[in-house]
A and B are shown apart, each in its own frame.
Chain A
Amino acid sequence: MPLREDSSVPEQLVFAMEVTLNGLMAGVLYALVALGFVLIYKASGIFNYAQGVMALFAAMTLVGIMNGQVPFAHLINAIFGGHVTHFGWTVPSFVAIVLTIGVMVLLAWMVQHFVMRHLVGQEPIILFMATIGLAYLLEGVADLMWGSEIKTLDVGLPQGINLWIDETTFQIFDYGFFIDNLDIVATIIAALLVAGLVAFAQYTKQGRAMRAVADDHQAALSVGISLSFIWVLVWSVAGFVALVAGIMWGTKSGVQFSLSLIALKALPVLMLGGFTSIPGAIVGGLIIGVGEKLFEFLIGPMVGGATENWFAYVLALLFLVFRPQGLFGEKIIERV
C-alpha cells in the first residue's frame, strides 16, 4: 500500500523494517537447509554437499507421487518405445509426503550402504568431494525419474499476502508490510522441526545414541551402538529435513534445478553459525537472511544490484578470518 504524505516515521526506516522482516523469513528457510547439514556433520563428520540436491530430489519425488507420474517414464519410452507418462491417479498430499519420507529413508540406506560405508576413516575433504559426486548422481537420477521441467508444488500450504499484518502495520506506520503467508508457515514449521529434533536428540534412545556417536565414534561402538544404523538414521533425518525444506522452497518458487543451489547458500550460514551447532544454524540463517536483504536494499542500488549472489559468502569469509570456528562452533583444537 502506498505511503501517506504526512507519515510520522521516515519512509526509509519503514522500508528497512519490512526488508528486515522479509530477510528474517528468508533466513528461516536458509536455516532449514543448514539444519540438515549440521545433523549429518555432527553425527558423522561428513559435510554433506548433496543436502540441497536431496531437497530437490525430495520435492520432485513428492510432486511425482502426487501427480501419479511413472518414474523413469522418459527412459522407458526411449528404450522400449511407447508413451507411458502417468498412472492416471493422484495421491493426496499427506499420503504422498509419507511415501516420500519412505523414499528418503531408502535413499539414506543406499547412501550409507553403497557410499559412506566404504569411505569410513577417509579425510573429511575426500568425504566432502564424495558428497559432491553424490549430488551430481542424485540430480541426474531425479531428472531421469521425474523429468527436468519446472513443476509446481502445492500441498495445501497458505500462500499470498498476510492481510492481518498488512492491516496492523498500516495502522501503525501508515504503510502495510508485505509478508507472505507461506513464510510465516515456514517459520512455524521450522520452529516445530527444531523443537522436535532437540526433543528427539535429548529424550529418545536413538537420539542419545546419535549424540554418543557424534561425541566419539569408538566409544559409542564399544558400548554397543551400531554405527551403520545411526548413520542411516541420521541420513534419514537429514532426508526428512530436506523434504521439509524442499516443500517450502518448492511451494515458493517451483520445483526446479535452482532449488539445489540453496545448498550453496547454506554454506555461509553454517560458517557463520559454526558447523556443529543447531542454534548456530538458525542464528546464522537469520543473520545471512537479514544481512543480504538489507545490503541489497541499502548498498545494492549503488553498485549495480544483485548483490544477494555473493554477499553471504563475502560476509562469511570476512567473519571467518576473525573467528574460524563460527559463532557457536566448538573451538578448533589441533594436535600434531
Chain B
Amino acid sequence: MFYREAGDYKVSYQQDSQTFPIKFDRYRYFLVMAVAFLVVPFFVNDYWANAILLPFLIYSIAAIGLNILVGYCGQVSLGTGGFMAVGAYACYKLMTAFPEVSMFVHVLLSGGITALVCVAFGLPSLRIKGFYLAVATLAAQFFLVWLFNRVPWFYNYSASGQINAPERDVFGVIVTGPNAPAWATYLFSLIFLTVCAIVARNLTRGTVGRSWMAIRDMDIAAEIIGVNPLKAKLSAFGVSGFFIGISGALFFAVYLGAVEVGEAFGITKSFLVLFMVIIGGLGSIFGSFAGAAFLVLLPVVLKVVGVDLLGWPTDIVAHFQLVIVGALIIVFLIAEPHGIAQLWRVAKEKLRLWPFPH
C-alpha cells in the first residue's frame, strides 16, 4: 500500500541516486520539513521549546555526530560530553570576543574548533582499538572538563566559574539569552540540524562514508584494499567533532543559557548520547533522530505518568528512569542490535505489502 516503488520510474542517474528513492518516502520527507519549518514555529511556546523541541534538535545533532564515529567508523567514543564542552566554550569565547558577528558564524567556528580537538584526541585510534580506545577517549572527557573548570581564561575570569550566554542575534532576531523568543531558538537549531543531517547523510553514502564503513567492518582488510586508515579514522573524528561541537555550542548558547561544565558536560552526557545512538540504531541517520527523540521524551513521559498521574515522589520516578533506560539498552542489544531504525525498516517492508500477505 505504502512505500511502493511500482510506477516510480527513474529516468536519469540523478533520480537513481537520490536520498529517498521511493516517491512516498520523498513526499513524507517534504511534508515533515514543511511542518517543521512552516507550521511548528507559529505554535511553539516556551514550554514545548525548552522541554522537548530544543533538546531533541540539539541532541539529534550530537547523536548524528557520534553515530558517524561509532556507527559508521566503529571507533567507540566516551568523550562526547568533553567535546560538547569544547563547542560550548569555543562558542562562549567567540561570542564575548566578537559580539557583532552573527551567531551562525560563531556556532560554525566552534564546530570547527571542536573538530580540531577531536582529531587530536583521535590520534591514538591509529594505534589502539575497541574498548581500549573507548577508555582512551575517557581521557579526553575528564581532561577537557577539568581544563574548562580550572583555567579561568575559558570562563573569562567570572567569579562563579559559570559561563553565561550574552544576547546575540541573527539578522536582527535575538536567538540567545533569556529574551530570545521560542520560535527563534527553535528555528535556529532546526536549521543547523537540517543542514547537519543532509551533510551527514550524503557523506555517509559517498566515498568517505564507504571508507569509514570499511574500517568499521575490518580495518586490516580495509587497509589491504586501499583504504587509508589514517585518513578515514581522522576524518571520522573530525566530522564527528564538528557536529558534536555545533550541538555543544547550541546546547550552551541557545538551550541552557548558563553552563557549569562538570554538571552540563560530564560523563553522564557522554553516555546519554551513546545510548541515543545505540537505541536509535548504529549506522543510521534516521536512528540518531529516533534515539534522541526517544531519550528526550522518555523522562518527560515518565514524569507525566509517574508524578502527575500516579502521584509518586520524583526521586522514585528518577530511579525508575535509570532502571528503564538500562533495561532498554539491554533489551535493544539482545533483541534488535540495530535499534529503532531497524524496527522502522521492518515496518516499512510490512507496509509495502500491506494489506496483502505476499
**Which residues of A are in contact with B by a Cβ distance under 8 Å?**
47, 74-75, 78-79, 115, 118-119, 122, 124-126, 128-130, 132-141, 143-144, 148, 264, 267-268, 270-271, 303-307, 309-310, 313-314, 316-317, 320-321, 324, 334, 336
Contact = CB atoms under 8 A, between A and B. Distances in A.
A81 to B, nearest CB: 11
Contacts of B149: 306
A317 B124 contact: yes
A310 B127 contact: no
Contacts, number: 137
21 contacts: A78-B310, A119-B334, A122-B337, A124-B130, A129-B278, A130-B334, A132-B271, A133-B326, A134-B326, A138-B326, A139-B326, A141-B323, A144-B316, A148-B315, A267-B138, A271-B136, A309-B146, A321-B128, A324-B127, A324-B132, A334-B220
B143 interface: yes
A313 B139 contact: yes
Interface string B319-352: 1111111111110011001000000000000000
B143 A268 contact: no
Query: What 8 A-B pairs have minimum CB-CB distances, sorted nearest first?
Result: A133-B329, A137-B326, A140-B322, A136-B326, A140-B323, A313-B139, A304-B150, A310-B142
A306 B138 CA distance: 16
Contacts of A144: 316, 319-320, 323
B30 interface: no
Given A309-B146, A320-B127, A135 B326 contact: yes
Contacts of B208: none
B134 interface: yes
B-side binding surface: helix, strand, loop or mixed? helix
B322 A128 contact: no
B142 A133 contact: no
Contacts of A316: 135-136, 139
Contacts of A125: 76, 130-131, 134
Nearest to B220: A336
Contacts of A320: 124, 127-128, 132, 136
B313 interface: yes
Contacts of B298: none
B142 A309 contact: yes
A126 B333 contact: yes
Contacts of B198: none
Contact of A74 (B128, B316, B323): B316
B312 interface: yes
Residue of A79, A268, A317, A320 contacting most chain B CB atoms (<10 Å): A317
Interface residues of B, number: 48
Contacts of B319: 140, 143-144, 148
B224 interface: yes
A137 B322 CA distance: 6
Contact of A307 (B124, B146, B151, B224): B146
Nearest to B333: A130
A306 B150 contact: yes
Nearest to B133: A320
Interface in B8-63: none
Contacts of B218: 336
Nearest to B329: A133
A305 B149 CA distance: 10
A124 B135 CA distance: 14
Contact of A137 (B127, B151, B327): B327
A267 B322 contact: no
Contacts of A270: 135
A297 B127 CA distance: 31
A179 B180 CA distance: 56
Interface in B195-248: 218, 220-221, 224
B151 A304 contact: yes
Contact of A271 (B132, B145, B146, B220): B132
Contacts of B327: 133, 137
B267 interface: yes
B143 A143 contact: no
A125 to B, nearest CB: 6
Nearest to A115: B330
Contacts of B330: 115, 130, 133-134, 137
Contacts of A141: 323
Residue of A74, A128, A306, A320 contacting most chain B CB atoms (<10 Å): A320
Interface in B294-316: 310, 312-313, 315-316
